[in-house]
Amino acid sequence: MLRKKPLIRLVLSPIALVFIIALQTANARDFSEASISYLNGKNFKVEPAKQQTFTFEYVYAKDWFDLFLFIDNKDYQPSGSNRYGEITPRFTIHTFEQQSTLKRLTFAMLLERGKNGIERNLFGVGVDLNIQGFRYFNVHLYQRDDPDIAGSGNQITTTFAYPFNIGEAPLLFDGYFDWVLNSDEQSDNFHFNPQLKLDMKAMLEGEYKWYIGIEYDYWTNKFGIRDTNNFPTNQNTWSFLVKWHF
> Has residue 22 got a pLDDT over 60?
no
> Has residue 4 got a pLDDT over 90?
no
What is the Cα 186 distance to its own chain's centre?
A: 20
Signed CA dihedral, 187, 157, 118, 195: sign only: negative
Who has greater pLDDT, 241 or 186?
241
pTM for the predicted model, two decimal places: 0.87
Question: Residue 30: which pLDDT band, with cuts at 50, 70 and 90?
Answer: confident
DSSP state of 222: G
- Looking at residues 13-24, what average pLDDT do you find? 55
- Looking at residues 207-225, what average pLDDT do you find? 96
CB 48 within 8 A of CB 77: yes
The model's pLDDT over 144-176, given as tens digits with 9 standing for 90+, comes to 988 878 778 999 999 999 999 999 999 999 999
Question: Residue 27: which pLDDT band, with cuts at 50, 70 and 90?
Answer: low
CB 55 within 8 A of CB 71: yes
CB 167 within 8 A of CB 206: no
pLDDT for residue 28: 57
Which H or E run contains 210?
A: strand 210-220
The model's pLDDT over 89-115, given as tens digits with 9 standing for 90+, comes to 999 999 998 888 999 999 999 999 988
Question: Residue 23: which pLDDT band, with cuts at 50, 70 and 90?
Answer: low
Query: Mind listing the domains of the chain with CATH numbers?
Result: 8-245 (2.40.230.20)
Cis peptide upstream of residue 78 (ω within 30 degrees of 0): yes
**Among 174, 242, 201, CA closest to 36:** 242
CA distances to 76, 96, 100, 161 from 130, rounded to whole Å, are 40, 10, 7, 12
pLDDT for residue 166: 96
Question: Residue 15: which pLDDT band, with cuts at 50, 70 and 90?
Answer: low
